[in-house]
Structure formats: C-alpha cells, structure tokens
Structure 1
Amino acid sequence: MRLLVSFLLAGLITDGEAQNWHGPHPWRANAVVDGRARDYNNEYFLHAFSYRHLIDRPSPIEEGIRGTAGSLTSDRLYMDFRYQQSFAFDDPDQAFTLDIQRAEDFDGSYDRQLVGFRQTLAQRWQLSLQGDVFSDKSLTDIYFGARRLHSEGSWLQLSLVLPNAYFNDKTDSQSELIDEPRTLFAQWHQQHTPWASTTLSVNHTPDATLDDRTQGDRVSSRQTRVALRYREQKGNWQLQTDLNGEHTRRQHQLDERPAPQAFRRDMASLTLAVRYWPHRWQPQVGARYFWLDEDGWFGREPNGNGEVSRQEPMLFGGMSLSLSDTQRLAPTVYLSRPRVEQTVNSPRWRDRDDHGFVGKLSVPWHITVSKQNGAVLSIVPSMRLHRFAFGGGNVQLHWPL
C-alpha cells in the first residue's frame, strides 16, 4: 500500500525525456552505417520535450502501455511507444514476457518486439531470456538478463544483449561482422522510502566492427548511454531530477575515400522539476538544459561531413485544472533560447546558425478512460509562441497493467 501511494504521488510529475533511457538499447547496424536521416531544425527538441510522457504510470520500469506521438512537421511524426507485460504460468515463478517498442534515438527510429521467458528463483532472483526475432534470422537479437530483488521494490539488474547474434552464419549478403557487437545493460533501482527513489541505468557497447559490403563501409563503433532519475516528495513539494548522457564514437572506411572518416557525438541533458501538490491547481515549474555536439562523417543517409553544436536552455511551467472526476486540463508554457551552429556539406542538410527565442503553449486534456486500471488518454493541442502558428498535436495513452 505504501508503494502504491508512492507511485500515485510520483505520477504527478512528468517524465524528463520522451526517449526511454531506462531499458536495454542494443547496437544497430543501420544506425552505425546510415546514421540519421533528419536535419534537426531550431524547434525539434522543444517539440520532442513537450511530447514527453505526461502521465508517469506506467513508468519506464513498470508494466503496461506507455505511448506518445506528436507532429514535428507536416510530414514527420515523433513516436515513443512501449507495451510490456508478463503472463504468469500456473507456476507463479515462471512467466512469458512480451515487450513491444517503437521509438527513436539520435540515429533514427527503431522497432523491437521482444518475446521471452522469466524464471524466479528463491523469491530473490529473476533470470530472463528474450529475443527480438525476425524472419531473416541474421537480424535476431538475443537478451540474457538477471535481476536481484531487494526489499521495498528495489533491485539490481544486469543484461547482456547479442545484437544480430547469427549474422555471420545466416546472412545472404557478403557483409560480415568482424568484431561482433555486445551490449551490456545495468540498472539499479533503490526505493529509499515510499516517497523517494533513485534509478540509474547504463548501456555500453564496446568496440564492434561491421564490414558492410553492400554500402561499401567498414565501420567500427562504440557507445555509452547513462540515465539517472531521482524523485522525492518532501512535505508539500514533489521534486524530480533527470540526467541523461551519450558518448558515441565511430570510424568509417569508405570504398570511395582513401582516408578514414571519424564521427563523434557527445550529448547531455539535465531536467529539474518541482510541483506544489496540495494546491488545487498543483502548479509546477522546471528548468532543462540540453547539449548536443557532433562532428565528422554522419553516415550514408546524409552522405556528408559536418559539425553540429546545440545548447538549449529551457524554462517551463504549468498547472492542473480539474474539469470533472475523470477530466482535467494541464496548460503548460515552454520557453527556450537555443544556440544552434551547424556546418555540413551534405546535399540533404543545410548550414544553420540560430540564436533566436522559441516558445510553445501546450494544453493537455487528460481523460481517465479506466478508473480501475488508472488508464489515461491525453489529447494535447499546442500553439507556437515565437510566431503565430499551430504548434503540433500530440496524443498519449498510459495504461498500467
């Protein structure tokens, strides 16, 4: 009961990021070879942040349906969807697991459909085996996991992912994995009290080398992603801190270029939010700083070299207005002044030097569609504040299971 109260109270503060940083994030061949297709404009990360999950149950570490989709441009949609659930056998220590994901990172969009099995031992250990299975067997990823359960909802989890586990044996192409990729995932979740918790998640892929003979690119890569979340209710205040970071390095040897082409990405974001929950409007204010630094060969998709530097401080604030027992409005204002400096030689991207103000008014309409499950449908129209224009529509569904 105390943990249930903790989750309910924590749900009043929203996620710091739309991307799911608190789960295994394995190496992808198309990410390291193609890179990302999109050229970020000056509004992209403002929109993506406003489309973060506005209802936090289920959280990134809970079972249920958790989805958000919003319009970035007239022809591009941002999406972060996850459905995960365990189906217990007659023996409650055994379960079938299902985890369906559709999202994007800095290298583009991806889909995962994980199916697997979980075994509980001595009420303290959970061992799991999952697979992202394809008809083309060379693309199948295999996940091995072990979780040590502690009291009061705390745990330590370690996972090993074998991306494209059978690639060299099953592919019908001439491509080859020279140094096979391995992604290591670790997560520590500590429930300090019923009203305070910390979650630390780390993804690390050591050096891996793919000789993609179809694309004429032999690429070595490594990547580390880290996410830290701290949440606490202290008296009348609810506090949340999110810290995320990425470190990516790649070395390309292209058939048509004699010299190696390097790529570097470093990214960090910090989000702080506080809410005064006893007030009937539950006012919330927050601040966010986002930094992204990239340079080098961006991949086959943009087909060019360049440098990108983004620094985006943001302030945001809002309130919650009750319309009925099952409906409420939560108008929120986002104010940012990004500094974007971009120089590229790609025919699909353009040079950019933006230092102007961008802002957005978002008006989420939250509708409880199942009181028993705590399921909420959110319809979120918005308006740009830096120019008189529609700011994009966003739809979200959160259904704890």
Structure 2
Amino acid sequence: MRCPVAAFTTLFLSSSVLAYGWGGPEPFRLERLEGRNFVLTEESFLHRISFQPLPVVRMQDSWAEDGWYGTAGSTRSREFYVQSHLQKRVQFDVPMFVGVRFRRDEDLDGRYDRTLFGSGYVTADGSLELGVWGDVRGGKDEVDLQLEAYWRPGPEQWLRATLISPDAMYNSKTYDSSFYQKKPLTLHLAAGTVFADGQQLYGFTNLNRRMEYHQPDLAQQWTDKQYSAGLGWLYPVTANWQLGLQTQGLYGLRQQFQDDALALELRRQFTDTSLELRSRRAQPVTYWGGVRYLSLRERDQVQQAGLTVLEQRDEWMLYAGMAWDWRPWIRLRPSLMLGYADMQGARPDDDEPLHFSGVLAKLVPVIEFHLHQQSGAVIRLNPTIELHSLSFGGGNVQVHIPF
C-alpha cells in the first residue's frame, strides 16, 4: 500500500476486534512522536495472531458493546501483549445514557490506555444513539473530546461514526511554549450489513489528518498523518461452509524539523490479509482453515546523519483448527499455524539487528470455558507451543464477557 487511497475505498464499512485497526478509533497521541516503546522480533506477529480468538474472519462490533473483551499473554521474557476493552452503559427512563469505556491496547507506535466517560441521547429501541465522550485526565492539555453517532436501521445493519479532537485544549492549557499549529483530528467510520442470502460485509476507516506540532524551546517542529482501513466479507459457499476474506491497510508519514531543516522522516506501510474457510453452522465439531499474509515497511530516514533505516517483513501463514464440545461447558479449540517469514531491519536502539528468513510454526491448544449460556461469557486458556524451536510459546488468557 503506497498511498492513502485505500483508506477511502471503505468509507462506509465496519469493525471487528483484532489488533492493529480492528479495535475501534485510533486517534493521534502526542507520545507517538517518541517512537515505539517495544521491539518487534521475528515472532511478534506470530504471538499476537495466536493470542486472538480463532477463526480470524468474523463480523462483530464488540469494542463498543457492554462487556469485557480482550487477551493478555507473554511474548518475551520481559513483555506481555495486552489487549483489553471494557465498557458499561446505563440507560435511564428518559432518553439518555451515561457510560464508561476503557481500552488498553497497542499499535505500531507503542502501548497506550484510553479511559472515556460519556453521556448522550438514545432512542427507546436503541436504533439511534448520539453521544459525547471524553478521555479526561489530570492535565487539561491531555483531554480528548469524542463525538459519536450510532445508527442501526435494521436488525442486521449498523453504522457508527466517531469524530475525535485529541488534546482539544492543549494550546491554552499546556505549561510550556509548545503548541499545535494545526491541531490533530481523527475521523473513524465503521459499518456492517447482512444480506438476504447470508452474505456479510463489514469494514472500517480511520483517518488521522495531518497535524503540525511546534516546540520553540527545542527549535523543533513535527508533522504527522496516518490513514488506515479494513474490509471483510463472508460468503456462504454451502449450507455447512462459509468463505471469508478480511484485509486491512495502513499508511503513515511523520517528519521532524530542526531549525526548519528536515531531520527525520518515517514512512510506514502495513497490510494484513486473511482468506478463510470454516464451518457455517453450530455443530458438536466445527472446523476452519485459512491462509494469511502480513507485510510491514518502515523507512526511517535520519537526514543529518545521512542514514536510512528500513524495517521490512513479509509473513505467510497457513492455519487450521477445530472446535469440539468435550463437555457441556468446556470446548476444546486446538489450532496449528505453519508459516514462512522473511524480515530484516535495524534501529539505533536495538540490541541486535533484525535478520530472519525461515519457518515459524505454533500449536495453539485453546481450552474454552463457557461460564454463562445466556450471555455467552467465555474464558479461554491458551498455553501455546513453538514447533520451530520445540519450546514454550507463551501462555495467554482470553476473555469474552458481555454485560
């Protein structure tokens, strides 16, 4: 993906819960300018996909539904991968709601937390909702303002639009001389629909417009913009099997100027695509299998030193799994992942340059405990095994608890 054009092709499409784009709005954060605060190793994306609920392709919007959803697991001896979404809304007798939404996640710029408090108008049948949310912090210069509209025209269609003003009061509330010459603004659109023949179409787009940030005390200026989008499609091949396609892409450009001269430029391109075949109907034993391709390009050019640092990775993966109702409240969901990865890159703060070409494989023996049949609450335990190194691949816990 060499330009942001793909971000506009899915303007009215939806969201599902996966890392890097499928978990809801991703507004600009000022700490992104400091760079990623963890290292992506040759196994980083293998760990993250094995820590997600499988199969991959599925339409849902649970990042904005009441409940607790997420996963936490070990990726390295000193690092956890944590993705957690928690929301609770209360609707009153009058057409009004209040709510709180917490998100702990990561993206290609680092780890972050968001805690939103909101209130707004909602119709009696819940088909229309207009809300004002805020990420309220102790420092007023860090407060984000979020406007959100949700519309459900039918039982199987939905559209959600979100407009975010990060650091909305920064220029008038900051303690130093730093200021936004052009304030950041984020637009997130998500939607999904189910057709009469059972096809499902969903997607999202997240647009962070170009911002300009000035630090006069350091004689530095920053610019940053980022566009991402995703599209998913589920097609019933037969009465018992369903074909799914899910893809997303991201483009970003960040620049730092020192005394009006370009000092640093980071260009980022990321794509992630899965093609999957799986059982369509609930049965005592269900199956799925698919192929996944991931690509990441980060070109970090330091002008004054005359250096160009490139992180480049391509990963192909075949995966297959099954789900078996072993007991009324216990389901076994083993999966096997086999792939080939080719990656290289080096950064000034890395202990070792990244250089790997070879096979990566994992056994993912998930045990799923159904805690509440009516709500669908489940907890999954997942002690993964790395087959390419015959070693423990990190354990994780997944939660899906609707309120």
User: In which range does the TM-score fall when normalised by the shorter chain?
Assistant: 0.7 to 0.9
Q: Is the 8 A contact 1:101 1:113 kept in 2?
A: yes
> What is aligned with 2:51?
51
Equivalent of 2:314, from 307, 311, 315?
A: 311
Secondary structure of 1:391's aligned partner: strand
> What is aligned with 1:290?
294
Distance 2:47 2:398 in 1: 14
Secondary structure of 2:213's aligned partner: strand
The answer to whether the aligner puts 1:169 opposite 2:172 as a matched pair is yes
The answer to whether the aligner puts 1:30 opposite 2:34 as a matched pair is no
Equivalent of 1:137, from 124, 135, 140?
A: 140
CA spacing shift, 1:199–1:135, aligned 2, 3 Å:
same
Q: Which runs of 5+ in 1 are unaligned?
A: 1-14, 299-303
Distance 2:210 2:280 in 1: 47
> What is aligned with 1:96?
98
Q: Deviations over 1:292-326 (max 9, x none)?
A: 1110159xxxxx85101111011101112222100
Distance 1:16 1:187 in 2: 12
Distance 1:103 1:63 in 2: 18
Secondary structure of 1:294's aligned partner: strand
> What is aligned with 2:122?
120
Secondary structure of 1:317's aligned partner: strand
CA spacing shift, 1:216–1:73, aligned 2, 3 Å:
farther
* Aligned length in residues: 378
Instruction: Report the alpha carbon displacement of residue 216 of structure 1 after superposing the two structures with TM.
Output: 6.1
Instruction: Report the alpha carbon displacement of residue 276 of structure 1 after superposing the two structures with TM.
Output: 2.5
Distance 2:387 2:144 in 1: 44
Q: Is the 8 A contact 1:249 1:265 kept in 2?
A: yes
Secondary structure of 1:138's aligned partner: helix
The answer to whether the aligner puts 1:231 opposite 2:237 as a matched pair is no
Distance 1:215 1:225 in 2: 31
Q: Is the 8 A contact 1:26 1:163 kept in 2?
A: yes
Q: Is the 8 A contact 1:277 1:283 kept in 2?
A: no
> What is aligned with 1:383?
385
Q: What's the TM-score once normalised by structure 2's chain length? A: 0.87
The answer to whether the aligner puts 1:252 opposite 2:256 as a matched pair is yes
The answer to whether the aligner puts 1:365 opposite 2:347 as a matched pair is no
Instruction: Report the alpha carbon displacement of residue 354 of structure 1 after superposing the two structures with TM.
Output: 1.0
What letter is aligned with 1:189? G
In the TM superposition, 1:193-232 aligns within 5 A as 193=196, 195-212=198-215, 217-232=220-235
Secondary structure of 1:322's aligned partner: strand
Equivalent of 2:342, from 335, 339, 349?
A: 339
Instruction: Report the alpha carbon displacement of residue 207 of structure 1 after superposing the two structures with TM.
Output: 1.0
Q: Is the 8 A contact 1:22 1:61 kept in 2?
A: no
CA spacing shift, 1:214–1:115, aligned 2, 3 Å:
farther
Distance 1:58 1:399 in 2: 14
Q: Deviations over 1:94-128 (max 9, x none)?
A: 11122110000000011011111121359654211
CA spacing shift, 1:49–1:34, aligned 2, 3 Å:
same
Q: What's the TM-score once normalised by structure 1's chain length? A: 0.87
